[in-house]
Chains A and B, each alone.
Chain A
Amino acid sequence: MLMHPVLKLIAQRLALGLLLLFAASVLIFVGTSILPGDVAQSILGQSATPEALANMRRELGLNDPAVTRYFAWLGGVLQGDLGTALTNGRDIADSLGGRLKNTLFLAFWAAAISVPLAISLGLLAVRYKDRWPDKLISAVTLTTISIPEFMIGYILIYWVAIKWRLFPSVAIINDSMSLGEKLNAIAIPVMVLTLVVLAHMMRMTRAAILNVMQSAYIETAELKGLGMLKIIRKHAFPNAIAPIVNVVMLNLAYLVVGVVVVEVVFAYPGMGQYLVDHVSKRDVPVVQASGLIFAAVYIGLNLVADIVSILANPRLRHPK
């Protein structure tokens, strides 16, 4: 049977993604297994007695060989069973679900603000290329991307939360809050994330469009007497979409998997904080599950970027 080449490409990409995910699972498992110290020790802490340690190791199955544990784990994951957290005995899939929802909630709002903002700022920069708006936009966004995100977080906390008392500094949200209350709680982290991802997307938009603007058909459009913004919108932007989508997806992936520091600074109950807490508690099943989900999100979003750029490119869409 002959497949449409695009379908075939997509199928290939999907298969590759799965393979990558599998490789990531091996790395995660090996990585977490060779860490010094074990979970029994870190649950009981400095106050562990040898008997209590031995009892706990037996109960947690830490005495089995690593390969057995890996396949038992992988088998569980394939059936949607991520195991139970060693430290509090809760089902990981349950806790993780809530945390993932929160992380996606934060990422969604950060993306909803930063993506349109970055693209319009990029377009503006192209429109006023080499004039002061362009330079101002570049200077500001490059400054914010150059400052470490926790620093931006602390600066905003100082001014927005402590001095002006506009928004809270601790972004703890829960299900009983209304949407308005939740947005109020995450206002500062969203600002931080927006400032962090803005420059990358803005610069890429600007560069991609400028690149297209050199083409002959833009000159034609100009000669037709079209306005600058209209040329950018109707002719340049559609042709620059592939690189822009790529960088947007990369930044979306960052918003999901890279927010660890921001979540910790604001005590936001998302995946990152969950991961950090359980790394320090040496709760290996949780770390493995979180690592796997992060890997899946990252691979998934990159896959989407790939597919979109394939679809956006007529040469790939209609091969000879």
Chain B
Amino acid sequence: MTASEVPLDNLRHLYETLVEVNPAGEVEPRMAESYEASADAKTWAFKIRKGIQFHNGKDMTPEDVLKTMQRHSDENSQSGALGIMRGIENMKVDGDNLIVELGVGNADLPYLMADYHLMIQPDGGMDNPGAGIGTGPYTLEVDEPGVRHGFTRNENYWDADNRGFTDYNEVLVLNDATARTAALQSGQVNMINRVDPKVAALLDRAPNLSVKSVSGRGHYVFIAHVDTAPFDNNDLRLALKYAINREEMVDKILRGYGSIGNDMPINASYPLFDASIPQREHSIEKAKEHYAKSGHDGSPIILRVADGAFPGAVEAASLFQESAKAAGIPLEIKREPNDGYWSEVWNVKPFCASYWGGRPVQDQMYSTAYLSSADWNDTRWKRPEFDAMLLEARAELDEAKRKAIYSKMGMMLHNEGGVILPMFNDFVDGVANNVGGWIKDPNAELMNNKAPIKCWVKDA
């Protein structure tokens, strides 16, 4: 698999979280046996499962869970989960329970607790977070970063009926796409991630394997800062949104391994998605109409893009440029180096290509990138009424009401947002035919990186 996904895969072998998001998008208890919320969704109690041991033989206790959470909420930490933890006012252990108190009610807290950063470690990993000691179905055997990682089955695993079927798993780091497909074809490996969509259909024809794709929540975007000219003009944004040819992009960039987007970061893979929101069509007429209405002076509109923005980003930008030209919009592509793209261009320049991996729930997606105060508000979308709706939905435990609020928020972005979202990409993995237990999991690649711990290899 590619290097960027290897740490996640390693984590899944060694550690577990309080709860997990299952393939159906529901929360499934793991280290917590059950959980419940107070009526205002402000106080949550997670009942910690008993009789689970860490790899070092120590019992896993509610204190370990508490310490883990505290480590990730330390302001001096470099934890990627710090943003999640900030909403928590107080945590304490009460008997077998971990009590979490929030400043503002959040019906989605269990989803947040499923974040892969929040892996439970003995004593919270305070002394040595990299020790590799967890409660997971495998223990660390070989650790050669950038080359390979080997894992042997944890014979003491608490959920051995469902996970950890193979005796030994080896994860090889193969960054080169062709090296990955060749390794799968020649039978050296059983599964690979990130099959290049360009070759996926061809690879699928090989007799000993199949290509598995699952539509996820990840999406490719062109993002404009709504507070910077000329993108502060909504007619210009709408002109660009109508000018982009979504079908063509799914067809040519994703080779069909994806679905068209609707200028909002939410699709049917999210719970509480409103399918009745109309799909924006590709319309040169409407693009022309809005462009004329925007009164843009005809100077080139600079779109910044790099190969690394998303696979096929430069090609997608060219397609965009062509269809914009048909509507008389002077889009100009400026190619940027991959080096430093995420620090110098993305979230800095007013109009560029990017991608989002998606989040398990709408609340998290919106809080990460569309809340006024979000660090990664990469479209500079700052609307108090939008923020208010987000907070209202967050504390609302009635699902029908939440769905209605989310639908309104989605429409708002669809009509006024700075995000031009042509496509959602599928996760495309390659799996040998002798692998058993494969299921579709829209959360991430390789069954949310759990394929190695949930699958088995059939005898030839």
Contacts and interface: CB of A to CB of B under 8 A. Distances in A.
Given A55-B76, A265-B179, A37 B344 contact: yes
Judged by DSSP, the binding face of B is: loop
Contacts of B337: 36
B147 interface: yes
Contacts of B188: 168-170
B346 A169 contact: no
Contacts of B82: 49, 51-52
| Residue among A35, A36, A42 having the largest count of chain B Cβ atoms under 10 Å | A36
Contacts of B130: 89
Interface string B30-65: 000000000000000000000000000000000000
B340 interface: yes
A44 B344 CA distance: 14
Contacts of A277: 3, 146, 175
Given A90-B145, A172-B148, A174-B148, A41 B342 contact: yes
Interface string B173-210: 11110110011011111000000000000000000000
B342 A37 contact: yes
Given A51-B82, A161-B186, A172 B179 contact: no
A50 interface: yes
Given A52-B79, A172-B172, A273 B186 contact: no
Contacts of B344: 36-37
A264 interface: yes
Contact of B186 (A56, A169, A282): A169
B339 A267 contact: no
Interface in B1-27: 3
B343 to A, nearest CB: 4
A172 B147 contact: yes
B300 interface: no
Contact of B339 (A35, A47, A162): A35
Contacts, number: 107
A282 B173 CA distance: 18
| Residue among A41, A90, A162, A269 having the largest count of chain B Cβ atoms under 10 Å | A162
Interface residues of A, number: 40
Contact of B375 (A35, A49, A161): A49
Interface in B142-179: 142, 144-148, 172-176, 178-179
A168 B186 contact: yes
A168 B186 CA distance: 7
Judged by DSSP, the binding face of A is: helix
A52 B344 CA distance: 17
A280 to B, nearest CB: 8
A154 to B, nearest CB: 6
A165 interface: yes
B79 A170 contact: no
B146 A55 contact: no
A3 B76 CA distance: 63
A266 B148 contact: no
A132 B174 CA distance: 43
A169 B179 contact: yes
Contacts of B341: 37
A52 B186 CA distance: 43
Contacts of B172: 170, 172, 267
Contact of B340 (A36, A56, A174): A36
A88 interface: yes
A274 B80 CA distance: 26
Nearest to B368: A47
A71 to B, nearest CB: 26
B312 interface: no
Interface in A240-271: 264-267, 269
A266 B145 contact: no
B80 A47 contact: yes
| Residue among A41, A46, A50, A274 having the largest count of chain B Cβ atoms under 10 Å | A46
A134 interface: no
Contacts of B376: 46-47
A288 B164 CA distance: 41
A45 B3 CA distance: 13
B276 interface: no
B332 to A, nearest CB: 21
B343 A41 contact: yes
Given A168-B186, A277-B3, A38 B343 contact: yes
A187 interface: no
B75 interface: yes
B78 interface: yes
Interface string B303-341: 000000000000000000000000000000000010111
A165 B78 contact: no
A46 B346 contact: yes
Interface string A56-71: 1000000000000000
16 contacts: A36-B340, A36-B344, A37-B341, A37-B343, A37-B344, A44-B78, A44-B80, A45-B342, A46-B346, A50-B375, A51-B75, A52-B78, A55-B76, A157-B186, A162-B182, A267-B175
The 6 closest A-B pairs by CB, nearest first: A37-B340, A36-B340, A169-B182, A41-B343, A269-B147, A37-B343
Interface of A: 35-38, 41-42, 44-47, 49-52, 55-56, 88-90, 154, 157-158, 161-162, 165, 168-170, 172, 174, 264-267, 269, 273-274, 276-277, 282
Given A52-B80, A264-B175, 15 more contacts: A35-B339, A36-B339, A36-B343, A37-B342, A45-B342, A47-B80, A49-B83, A52-B79, A55-B76, A154-B178, A157-B178, A170-B172, A170-B189, A274-B146, A282-B339
